[in-house]
Structure 1
Amino acid sequence: MKTDYKFSNLLGSVYRRGNLVYTEDGTCLLSPVGNRVTVFDLINNKSHTLPFAHRLNVARIALHPGGQLLLTVDEGGQAILSHFKRRIVLYRFSLKAAVSALKFSPGGTHFAVAHGRKIEVWKTPSTPGSTEGIDDDESGGLEFAPFVRYRQYVSHHDTVQNIEWSSDSRFFLSASKDLTARIWSLDPEEGFTPTILAGHRTAVYAAWFSHDQETIYTISKDGALFRWQYLPSPDVDPEMVAAEDERWRINDRQYFFQDHAHLTTAAFHAQSNLLVTGFSNGLFMLHELPEFSEIHKLSISASNIDTVSINRSGEWLAFGSSALGQLLVWEWQSESYILKQQGHFDSLNALTYSPSGDRVITCADDGKVKVWDTASGFCVVTFTEHTSGVTACEFARRGNVLFTASLDGSVRAFDLVRYRCFRTFTAPKRLSFSSMAVDPAGEVVAAGSLDDFDIHIWSVQTGQLLDQLAGHEGPVSSLAFAPNGGTLVSGSWDRTVRLWSIFARTQTSEPLQLQADVLCVSVRPDSKQIAVSTLDGQLTFWSLSEGTQEAGLDGRRDVSGGRKITDRRTAANVAGTKSFNTVTYSADGSVVLAGGNSKYICLYAVETGVLLQKYTVSTNLSLDGTQEFLNSRLLTEAGPKALLDETGEASDLEDRLDKSLPGSKRGDAAQRKTAPAIRVPGVAFSPTGRAFCAASTEGLLIYSVDAGVQFDPFDLDVDVTPESTLKTLARREWLKALVMAFRLNHPKLVTRVYRSIPTTDIGLVVRDLPEVYLERMLRHVAKEADTSPHLELNLLWLESLLRLHGRVLKERQGEFAEVVRMVQRAVARLQGEVMKVAERNRGTIDYLLGQPRVRKGVDGGGVRLKMLGNGVGDGGARGEDESMDDEEEGDASEWIGLE
């Protein structure tokens, strides 16, 4: 089994804080999620997370107009310049202060950064291997000092909130909390002096140029919109106007009248004169300038809107709300949602894969159960029936039925075909269920509680409580059914694991004694072994049939890591992180995956007990427990600086008000007064074994074996080139050409060779195909079946591959499970399309056969029509050529057929 898992995607969270950015073509949206950036493809309905990560939460992002360079800055001012298309980091640089605004110039040669009341303009570094950027006379490689500060502007008296460039990149506007906006020039211009636009009574949020750059719009926090134009003084005679009398003046004032709400975000599309504003009550408005005519008004959130962005065409509006983790893309002309996603705004508790492996189900303390599509990265459906935190979720092995347990005292069953809750299980007395297990046959469901020591058993079909299993002397922490359905395994805080035979005539329980409180139990897929994690950090393996311990390992050193702010000891000596809270087996049972209240996920080999891999969940210093050592500079006389409440020092009144509950630590990570702690409450392997997911504080992390083919230099030599491959193909050496194309890993070349092989030789090529290329061949044929119109060719390849290599696929089904599922989907789609065409053709043929055939003949001076039967005995079987011969011979008969 392959164990080289790498970070693949981040789900469960779509937006946290910061600004949203569209790509140049307007088809992709970039959203900061914690210390990473997620890209949402709005056309193909997919999302992916960029592989690099910051050390703190991302505060601002900006995309180069050319679409290749992406600049991201975190809360501490650390910047990463990356190649957006190749997803690689080019440079790392420290701006040495928190950034409040970031913007590339339209020409792409400079970018402006706002640090508090100071504005800096930097030269854009050149892209390696291209001619973009500035001073590219010697471009082509990495620069020694890529970030060069071009100019600095210091005149504002408070934080700069927004920067906007003119279309010619010569000037830019800055809006500040000091109630003013200012006009700056990039280079000294003759006759130009920096201009102050004053007149607002509250902080100016943003300022923009009009499309013709003859007008400037400024908007403030109280909802006042000013239109500025270059006009003379009204006291001067229009005929005697001099150049020194003209300056920027307010030509018009408009106001947004919103009671008990203030403006939180705004964006302006200069080409269409469209103004979008968002308010603290979740309302957004669309206006057309300069007439200030209202186009639309809509409430999209229960809390304030943090940011808004408009794509280049002005059709799609993107809204982000950090309080609830919402991300919306709205098409204002058709008044429809392009994208509507919301992550969990509370910490995740558990997760599970669907039996098909294409869905991941997560549940959290916010009472929501979400179904995520692993291929697209989007949330498919959200269930909100639970009224309290959901603590456990599990799939029935047969059928699309999901079971969840909650602190509200109920266990619910959801139908994932109709997306509805069809059964609710409750106990005779009010309990808060913390663990759950489902029989593999889907007949019974069991749940345990921390309030009661009994295990409750319900019938899925009737919903009735069947039994209460008594025997534990402490709260039940974990439940698991054996895959063969014969045994229920329960772990408790009374330091025992019990094995229950609930389907036998006499329900017996066999206790297994351990040395510490049991945190989690897991059963191997072959039902022969169970893994038990205890509070002392031990991971023990027991025989399910014999009830004896087979192996054990000490995981305290592996799982311990990360020091919290309140800890007085080093990370190696903290007792709270030295245990695994969740353990799961792989599909073949050869390895186990374990996680706990730390930043590490450990992968162990079951037979040897060797630590195979150790994955770091996050290096985000904005989370508590991610660093090994505390910084002494952050310690004050009153204690750690992060624990001090600095709410009363904010400049705005609404920011000074503390609305949080005393002692409450749950809720949205963006609203907590203290940093959320890093932890891994759940891990799960996919049914194919090629991926696993982990529920963490930052969201749902997906780790997978790289689906792309790794470059192997030993497979190549100087003779393997695209030209030599085509020459080999011309010599009709089919197998050699196919193997050379696979070695080069050139998709177009593989497709060309694949389609050039004659159908009569497919069986011979497949028979001699090396097994090392079998997976690639199946994957390629499955993709061809989905994209190419060569229906029969693809089916011939699939038939030969499955007939000649079916034994290999069966013996190594864990390795080939993913590609086999791809083939199944392709064949099912082809079958459906062929059946539709066949049914349509059958109906057409039945209709044509049911039509009477008519022969028109001329007899003397009249015309007669004769109904023809089936062509038996009356010449009805004659063809077109025969009828033409009859006409030439003088027969006046003529066939009237269906063309």
Structure 2
Amino acid sequence: MSSLSYSPDGQYIVTGGIDGKIKVWNTSTGLSFVTFKDHESSVTDVVFSPKGQVVLSSSLDGTIRAFDMIRYKNFRTMTSPTPTQFSCVAVDISGEIVAAGTQTDFSVYIWSLQTGNLLDILKGHEGPLVDLSFSPTGSDQLITASWDKTAKIWHVYSSKHPVESLNHSSDLTALAYRPDGNEVCVATLDGCLTCWDPLDGTLKTTIDGRHDISAGRSHQDFQSYQNISRSKYYTCIAYTADGTCLLAGGNSRFICLYQISKKILLKKFQISHNRSIDGLYDYLDSRDVHMDDPPLSDDDESYPLPKETLPGVQTGDYSSRQRNPLISTSALSFSPSNRQWACATTSGLLVYTLDDFLNFDPYMLDTHVTPDSILRTLRAHNYLKAIIMALRLNERSVTHRVLLNTPFQHVRSVVHELHPNYLQRLLDFLALHMEDSPHVELHMHWISCALSLHGPYIQQNLPKMVTTLRHLQKNVLKQQLSIQDICDENQHLLSYIHSIQSCKHIQKPTETEDDVLPESAAQLHLLNKEKEKLNELVLDASHEQRSSLAPRRRKAKG
């Protein structure tokens, strides 16, 4: 994946790849539901329109394509008068004007999305463009970033204002507008993040991130990870929705989160721990280095190959060379809800969120079904109504509370009276919740009651419930294996303790009076005297009992 963009409502993510495909993902389920294959070369940038009904993409094939998110088709293709390769694309807040930057002629092309006509060509850069963005406030400002060490502010709708240049000491690699439009951040090749005021063109702050985004060594690197120059800069940046923090990533396994006002690093996210990806560790293992391997030349990026190959053997064949991918982050974006952010990395599309359960999918929800009303119903001991209301609200915490507070002896009656329409939702919740819950017996009781009491309904709707049953089977088997391990471990432990207690040949040596300490000798003497007195009392009592029973025995014999 080379680029990504959030939809205005934060429900979808569109990504573009170097294979020329564009995919749209659902953030709640993590599934891709549509793929566009119209581009003939790598996709360099994608963006949603402000209303979320159109997806725009730029590609190295020299086209800017617009895709309809209602009919899922390419309805507009925009090209330049002369063939060129586009590196970035942006759309204004009205959704009518489309701008794209190029890599070959260093120009910015502007089209009308309604007609597809080319409106203007902005020239002034002396290097390839890496990023551009319209002002999110609706003004006519367009900011472009280029490898010529400048970021230019254009006024698209009027030619009276001159073009203003923001000069830097190094080449620019990324650009991001703050959501309120009062600040723009630029990433440069020297590892700095520079924040500007786009209204008057003044410098606000600079963050040095060269030491924060350190990458690991590759198998082809001959220097230490501190001296690797490919990772000392950021290639993608993104503001949070409130504009207080900044995310930055590059050719490294880390993504850094900065507090802009205080210029401090808040957190570093490691995007992968997969050892098959190159550049993941700071130090290489000497066991992977072999003296017999041929040295690599400067223009050979492949790994050392065996010197000898056999006919018909694919292992060691020079035509089947494989390279491990290098860890990197190619795109970043924050959700408009400020609850999650996504990044396109070597491992794929990663979504980080503050919510444990994102899928809010109520079923037949009414105004009286609220968390407070569910808890009141539960306190009134109306367990059937409480579980139905919880399943309709579909809040994990509320359903969990109702499930745990339902008495064990009432579970069977509650499941028996439950309508079959709620059965799949109940089994889905049980399958999801028993993964990290210690209440094994309670969950198994709910599951056994549901399967035994509603077996005919499950058989009739088996194609619809097969996914739920497979999820349930997987987690039940996982719990079974876990309990089996615990039982086996305790069985061996108990047998070991029993064998120790049953060993009769191990006896503790008895202590003599000579071994007793002098200070406890008097106590031992007193204990012996008390023991003798008790023995005498027992003997006297037994003698008196015998004497009292003797006349009775004689009388009984007579």
Residue aligning to 1:402: 55
Alignment of 1:286-301 (within 5 A): none
CA 729–526 in structure 1, closer or farther in 2 if over 3 Å, else same: same
Find the partner of 1:463 among 99, 110, 116.
116
The structural deviation recorded for 1:629 is 0.7
2:261 corresponds to which of 597, 604, 607: 607
Unpaired runs of at least 5, structure 1: 1-347, 661-671, 710-724, 733-743, 754-783, 789-899
Aligned CA distance change for structure 1 residues 626 and 431 (closer, same or farther; 3 Å)? same
Deviation of 1:542 after TM superposition, in Å, equals 0.7
Give the distance between the partners of 1:727 and 1:374, measured in 2 at CA.
33
Instruction: Please say if 1:381 is aligned against 2:41.
Output: no
Map residues 197-212 of structure 1 onto 2, 5 A cutoff: none
Aligned AA (1:387): E
CA drift of 1:562 comes to: 1.0
How far apart are the structure 1 equivalents of 2:377 and 2:167?
A: 70
1:309-458 map, 5 Å = 348-458=1-111
Q: Give 1:575 shift.
A: 1.0
Matched, 1:546 2:200: yes
Question: Which amino acid is the alignment partner of residue 368 of structure 1?
Answer: K
* Counterparts of 1:647 and 1:507, CA distance in 2: 65
| Matched AA of 2:194 | T
Post-superposition offset of 1:508: 2.8
- Give the whole-Å Cα distance in 1 for the aligned partners of 2:214 and 2:220: 16
Q: State the partner residue of 1:644.
A: 304
Following superposition, the deviation at residue 746 of structure 1 comes to 5.5
Distance 1:385 1:419 in 2: 12
Does residue 679 of the first structure (1) align with residue 328 of the second (2)? yes
Q: How many residues align?
A: 377
Please report how far the alpha carbon of residue 658 of structure 1 lies from its aligned counterpart in structure 2 after TM superposition: 4.2
Distance 1:679 1:748, change over 3 A: closer
Tell me the equivalent position of 1:703: 352
Cα distance, 1:582 vs structure 2: 0.3
Return the letter of the residue paired with 1:455. V
* Number of the residue aligned with 2:491: none
CA distance, structure 2, for counterparts of residue 621 and residue 605 of structure 1: 31
Relative to structure 1, the CA distance from residue 727 to residue 386 in structure 2 (aligned partners, 3 Å threshold; closer, same or farther) is closer
Distance in 2 separating the partners of 1:728 and 1:395 = 45
Q: Which amino acid counterpart does residue 380 of structure 1 have in structure 2? A: F
In the TM superposition, residue 485 of structure 1 has moved relative to its aligned partner by 2.8
Note closer, same or farther for the CA distance 1:570–1:392 as it changes in structure 2 (3 Å cut). Answer: same
1:504 shift after superposition: 2.0
8 Å CA contact 1:489, 1:500 repeated in 2: yes
What amino acid is the match of 1:645?
L
The structure-2 alpha-carbon separation of the partners of 1:386 and 1:731, relative to structure 1 and needing over 3 Å to count, comes to closer
Which residue in 1 is equivalent to 2:399?
747
> Who is 1:756 aligned against?
none
Provide the secondary structure at the position in 1 that maps to 2:273: coil
Maintained 8 Å contact 2:54/2:69: yes
Q: CA deviation at 1:527?
A: 0.3
Shift of 1:646: 3.6
Q: Give the SS at the match of 1:557.
A: coil
Aligned equivalents of 1:399, 1:728: Cα separation in 2: 42
Per the alignment, residue 792 of structure 1 pairs with: none
Change (3 A) 1:647 1:369: farther
C-alpha distance in 2, partners of 1:707/1:694? 19
1:245-265, Cα deviation, whole Å (9 max, x unpaired): xxxxxxxxxxxxxxxxxxxxx
Q: Compared with structure 1, are the counterparts of its residues 647 and 387 closer, same or farther at alpha carbon in structure 2 (3 Å cutoff)?
A: farther
What is the Cα deviation at residue 698 of structure 1?
1.4
| Larger fraction in strand | 1
Tell whether the 8 Å contact from 1:363 to 1:390 is kept in structure 2 after alignment. yes
State the partner residue of 2:313: 653
The yes-or-no answer on 1:562 pairing with 2:211 is: no
Offset from partner CA, 1:654-685 (integer Å, 9 cap, x none): 5555445xxxxxxxxxxx62211111010111
Matched, 1:622 2:271: no
**Residues 799-878 of structure 1: matches in 2 within 5 Å?**
none
Structure 2, unaligned stretches of length 5 or more? Answer: 359-374, 383-395, 406-421, 427-558
Q: Residue 226 of structure 2: SS of its match in structure 1? A: helix
Who is 1:503 aligned against?
157
Tell me the CA shift for residue 399 of structure 1: 4.0
Separation (CA, whole Å) in 2 of partners of 1:573 and 1:728: 63
Is the 1:425–1:458 contact (alpha carbons within 8 Å) kept by the matching residues of 2? yes
Compared CA separation, residues 748 and 679, structure 1 to 2 (3 A): closer
Q: Deviations over 1:557-584 (max 9, x none)?
A: 1111211122122112211100000001
Q: Does 1:480 align with 2:133?
A: yes
Number of the residue aligned with 1:598? 252
Amino acid across the alignment from 1:360: I
Contact 1:623 1:675 in 2 (8 A): yes
CA separation in 2, counterparts of 1:358 and 1:539?
A: 29
Query: Looking at CA atoms only, which structure, 1 or 2, has the larger radius of gyration?
Result: 2
User: 2:88, 2:132 within 8 Å by CA — same for their partners in 1?
Assistant: yes
Residues in 2 aligned to 1:658 and 1:620: alpha-carbon distance in whole angstroms: 26
> How do residues 31-46 of structure 1 correspond to structure 2 at under 5 angstroms?
none
**Deviation readout 1:469-507 (Å, 9 max, x if unpaired):** 111121111101110232101011111111111012435
1:633 matched to 2:287? The reply is yes
Please give the secondary structure, in 2, of the residue aligned with 1:633: helix
Pick closer, same or farther for the CA change 1:467–1:649 going to 2, 3 Å: same
Offset of 1:727 from its aligned partner?
A: 12
Q: Is the 8 A contact 1:619 1:627 kept in 2?
A: no
Shift of 1:747: 2.1
Letter of the structure 1 residue corresponding to residue 244 of structure 2: S
Residue 620 of structure 1, CA deviation: 1.7
SS state of the match for residue 77, structure 2? strand
Write the distance in 2 (CA, Å) between the matches of 1:601 and 1:643: 28
1:581 and 2:230 are equivalent in the alignment: no
Percent identical: 39
Aligned mates of 1:747, 1:651 — CA distance in 2: 64
1:749 Cα deviation from its structure 2 partner: 3.8
Cα deviations across residues 221-259 of structure 1 (Å, max 9, x unaligned)? xxxxxxxxxxxxxxxxxxxxxxxxxxxxxxxxxxxxxxx
CA-based RMSD of the aligned residues comes to 3.1
CA distance in 2, matches of 1:396, 1:430: 25
Runs of 4+ in 1 over 6 A off after TM superposition: 725-728
Amino acid aligned to 2:258: Y
TM-score (norm 2): 0.63
**Cα distance, 1:726–1:559 mapped onto 2, change above 3 Å:** same
Letter in 1 for 2:250: G
Tell me whether 1:514 sits opposite 2:168 in the alignment.
yes
Is the 8 Å Cα contact of residues 647 and 655 (structure 1) preserved in structure 2? no
Note closer, same or farther for the CA distance 1:609–1:410 as it changes in structure 2 (3 Å cut): same
